[in-house]
Amino acid sequence: MAISGNTLAFTTLVERHSNYVSGIASRFLMREEDTRDVVQDTFIRVWKHLANYDGRSLFTTWLYAIVFNLCLDRIRVKKRKPEISLTEEHMWRVNEHADATDPVYNIDSGSIARAIRSFSEELSKVQRHVFVLRDLHDLPVSEVCRLTGYDTDKVKANLYHARKFMREKLTRGGYL
């Protein structure tokens, strides 16, 4: 069992959840290099703190919170030290290792998915967080509140504005 330090069991855990972690990180970070770094950091943190997982929530919920917080940390650092991307294509490339069951990767061969990723960059930080968590990861509002620390009214209001913005952009772009 991975919790007792069994490296083979931990390897299985990593293999089972790496696409999930990668999919989450790629939607928040939009850059493959940052995504890889966060995936690696996530599993390092899981290895170090697996004994702290108490089983009160699903393992994937606990894992999601780790990825989410690492992504927020990475975004904060990037805002302090902005980088210039070499190409738009590189910045918006869909992670080929993403989970095929993830809704954002199953939409019309990726064209709408790329549009959603692009348009989500234009949302405010709060709107983007709640939109990704609620609509792309299908988490309940209560879980979005728990992960972000926002109250229910803030989540719902920002989700409303994010959805309205996305609907307008997708309609104008001919996707809807």
- Tell me what pLDDT residue 6 has: 65
The arrangement of secondary structure in 1-99, i.e. its CATH architecture, is: Orthogonal Bundle (1.10)
Strand segments, DSSP code E, in the chain are none
- Tell me what pLDDT residue 79 has: 64
Q: Where are the domains of the chain?
A: 1-99, 102-176
**Spans of the chain below 50 pLDDT:** 83-109
- Tell me what pLDDT residue 3 has: 58
pTM over 0.75: no
**For 51-67, what is each residue's pLDDT tens digit?**
888 888 888 888 998 99
Cβ distance 120 to 166 under 8 Å?
yes
Burial (Cβ within 10 Å: 0-12, 13-18, ≥19) of residue 113: buried
CATH of domain 102-176: 1.10.10.10
- Tell me what pLDDT residue 102 has: 47
CA-based nearest residue to 38, from 68, 9, 60: 68
- Tell me what pLDDT residue 146 has: 83
